[in-house]
Amino acid sequence: MNTPINFAHRGASAYCPENTMAAFARAVELGATGIETDIQRTKDGKLVCIHDDSLLRTAGLNRLVNDTDYEELSHLDAGSWFDPSFSGERVPTLDQLLQLAAQSELILNLELKNGVVLYPGMEAEVIAAVREAGLANRVVLSSFNHYSLALCKQLAPDIRTGILYMEGLFRPWEYAATLKADALHAYHYAVLPEWVHDAAEAGIVYHPFTVNEDREMVRLIEAGVAGIITDYPDRLNALLAERG
For residue 6, give the H/E element and its range. strand 5-9
Distance set, CA 235 to CA 6, 34, 97, 166, 207 (Å)? 10, 14, 23, 23, 17
Which does residue 229 touch among Mg ion, ligand G3P, none (CB within 5 to 8 A, set by kind)?
ligand G3P
Q: Please list every residue from 156 through 175 that binds ligand G3P, using CB under 6 A.
A: 164
- Cβ-in-10-Å burial (0-12, 13-18, 19+) of 23 comes to buried
Catalytic residue IDs? 9, 51
CB contact at 8 A, 60 and 41: no
In the complex with ligand G3P, which residue's Cβ is closer, 88 or 183? 183
CB contact at 8 A, 36 and 13: no
Q: Find all residues with CB under 8 Å of 185, minimum gap 6, and list them.
A: 109, 142, 162, 163, 164, 165, 207, 208, 209, 229
**Among the listed residues 18, 111, 231, 234, the single contact to Mg ion using CB under 5 A:** 111
Closest of 65, 30, 238 to residue 12, by C-alpha: 30
Q: Is 182 in the site for ligand G3P (CB under 6 A)?
A: no
CB of 9 to ligand G3P, least distance (A): 6
- Show the site string, 47-86: x = touches ligand G3P by CB under 6 A, - = not: ----x-----------------------------------
Q: Is 18 in the site for Mg ion (CB under 5 A)?
A: no
In the complex with ligand G3P, which residue's Cβ is closer, 19 or 68? 19
Residues in contact with ligand G3P by CB under 6 A are 9, 36, 38, 51, 111, 142, 164, 185, 209-210, 229
Residues engaged in binding Mg ion (CB under 5 A):
38, 111
